[in-house]
Every structure is written in structure tokens, then in C-alpha cells.
Amino acid sequence: MTIDYAIINTGGKQYRVREGDTVSVETLDGEIGSDFIFDRVLMTSISGKLTIGAPAVQGAKVVGQIAEHGKADKVIALRYKNKTRQRVKRGHRQPFTSVTIKSISVK
């Protein structure tokens, strides 16, 4: 039994996804429950047949459903200079979108 999977590129990052997986990616436009099509598919493995793109696989697409929009855990950056009273504390929460993969297909 082979496991179908694809490697997609979104938000400057690459993700290995299978049908039914839920992945957190950089923020996508769309409402919760709507479908999103990833057309920048770098590689697919369907029924044991491996297809590698140069740089993307022609006619391949991965369809996902937007599950939620949110913010990641807070990252705190501190800057300190000794012998002065200079201290800077900054926080950042990266926005993300969770997507549930519905289908992987190649034409």
C-alpha cells in the first residue's frame, strides 16, 4: 500500500502534505470553511508514481479547506546594553492559517 503525498510551496515555505492532514501555513486570504487551491506543487507521489517538477509539476493541484485563522505563541525579543539604563522588550505573534487537505490531483 502506497501513501499519496505532495510537497507544496506557500508563504516561502515547503510542506509535505497528505489527504486529511491539517497544516499551519502563513496567512491565506479566505473565510473559514472555504476551499483554497495550492497550485505551486513541487512534487507528487500518487499510487507509487513519483512526479518531480522543474520547479513545479504541471497540472498538479492540492485542494484544502481553511479550518481556522489564528496567531502563534508569542515570541519575546529582549535587548540590553550594560552600564546604561537601556532595555528594550518586544513581542510578536505570527498570524497563521490552518488548512485541512482534501485532495491531491495531477492532470
Q: What is the pLDDT of residues 41-83, one digit of tens each?
A: 999 999 999 999 999 999 999 999 999 999 999 999 999 999 9
User: Mean pLDDT across the stretch 103-107?
Assistant: 93
Question: What is the tally of structural domains in the chain?
Answer: 1
User: Mean pLDDT across the stretch 90-100?
Assistant: 98
- Domain region containing 19: 5-106
Given a cut of 70, is residue 1 above it in pLDDT?
no
User: Mean pLDDT across the stretch 86-90?
Assistant: 98
**pLDDT for position 92:** 98
Assess whether the previous peptide bond of 55 is cis (omega < 30° from 0).
yes
> Mind listing the pLDDT tens digit for each residue in 14-29?
999 999 999 999 999 9
Pairing state between β 60-71 and 49-52:
unpaired
Distance CA 33, CA 66 (A): 5
Whole-model pTM? Answer: 0.85
Total residues belonging to the chain: 107
